[in-house]
Amino acid sequence: MKIAVAGTGYVGLVAGVCFAEKGHDVTCVDVDEKKVKMMEAGQSPIYEEGLEELMRKNNAAGRLHYTTDYAQAYRDKDAIFIGVGTPEQPDGSANLSYIATVSRQIAESVERDCLVVVKSTVPVGTNDKVEQFIHDFLKRDVKVEVASNPEFLAQGSAVHDTLHAARIIIGTESREAEALLKEIYEPFGLPIVSVNRRSAEMIKYACNDFLALKISYMNDIANLCELVGADIDAVAEGMSYDTRIGANFLKAGIGYGGSCFPKDTKALKYLAAQNGYQLKTVEAAVDVNAAQKTRLYQKACKRMITFEGLKVAVLGLAFKPGTDDLREAPSLDNIKLLLENGAQITAFDPAAAKNFQKFFPEGKNDRGVITYADTPEAALQNADICFVFTEWEEIRRVTPGTFKERMRIPLVYDGRNVYSVKQMTEAGVEYYSIGR
């Protein structure tokens, strides 16, 4: 099957590479010439385990191509997948301008019947608008139908999640579109759930918002655990054996971040409001998460007189391990507060440090100063206080004794419950975590 993919971010690039891996002829389209040349050389513009290996393999096999020439890319394809961003707007709604741009480019370029498949997360009803928009701007007498095919990958395991998904969701309005999508996914050998377009759009939001609800619920319970003397890890373990609840997304911490949960909870809340309905559960998840992000900092403020001139070690910057993505990462909120209050920060992250410097360049920022270390141990050297924001394996391997030996004051605020309370206390570390 000849496939084009618009957009080479987490959604588009991973989808395109995995389609090629399953034998399809794939052309990935991006507006950035520099990015295209990088991908042609087998280099991924995003940090994602296993992606570059598959890119090089399928580049060499001649199944995977990259271009900025959208007209040529879309001209003769069987299917065109849209995987561009739908960023959050100030009011919580989704910005659909990139979707509109690609839709018009497709309308002006296609020379044969084809199926346009929206993989981007879009509000319910968007696929209907995309189909009408394409028909409004079609230059040739061809048949173009639109289908919904939301992605459910997690950053850090995106390739695995795509190749070994629990299910494929397809939303179509005709038997022909359904059959074509099933043919595209047949080599994957995965269960396919076929619904109408609006249901497919809603499934994406319903899944992401349910997981966000689960995280915020556990964080809320963790905060109560601290007040009543319970241990959130023990509570989560006890809950995990209940098959109605499951073991995933029960880990308490300093809130969710990334490209999906924050944006999708706000978008669904906005959609409900536009239709005269209040999603109280989703609103609660948003509110809990917003407060949870700086909970560690607020704890530290009760302990410290000031951060002015203090040496602060920060371990972990990405919103989760396995990615260099900083969207909605708790580290951004906390480091901003620390710098505003005069802290001297040394930060470590094995993947996201370079991206973080776009927000906070090395050197003086506001009243404080930030530098970046190559190892956790270097970040801890002579520190007065340490914050843990991401549970990278490199950070997990830091022993309690290392905090005691390296830090001037062994004072640790752990937002991911990485370490054992007992072991940290026995090592002489003053240790604060979430819900324990």
| Active site positions, annotated | 260
Residue 80, beta-bridge partner list: 4, 116
Distance (Å, whole) CA 100 – CA 198: 18
Distance (Å, whole) CA 194 – CA 217: 31
**Angle at which helices 197-228 and 126-137 cross, to 10°:** 140
Distance (Å, whole) CA 245 – CA 305: 42
Which residue has 């998840």 as its token pair?
285
Distance (Å, whole) CA 30 – CA 28: 7
State the SS3 of the chain. CEEEEECCCHHHHHHHHHHHHCCCEEEEECCCHHHHHHHHCCCCCCCCCCHHHHHHHHHHCCCEEEECCHHHHHCCCCEEEECCCCCECCCCCECCHHHHHHHHHHHHHCCCCEEEEECCCCCCCHHHHHHHHHHHHCCCCCCEEEEECCCCCCCCCHHHHHHCCCCEEEECCCHHHHHHHHHHHHHHCCCEEEECHHHHHHHHHHHHHHHHHHHHHHHHHHHHHHHHCCCHHHHHHHHHCCCCCCCCCCCCCCCCCCCCHHHHHHHHHHHHHHCCCCCHHHHHHHHHHHHHCCHHHHHHHHHCCCCCCCEEEEECCCCCCCCCCCCCCHHHHHHHHHHHCCCEEEEECCCCHHHHCCCCCCEEECCEEEEECCCHHHHHCCCCEEEECCCCHHHHCCCHHHHHHHCCCCEEEECCCCCCHHHHHHCCCEEECCCC
The C-alpha angle 275, 276, 282, rounded to 5 degrees, equals 85
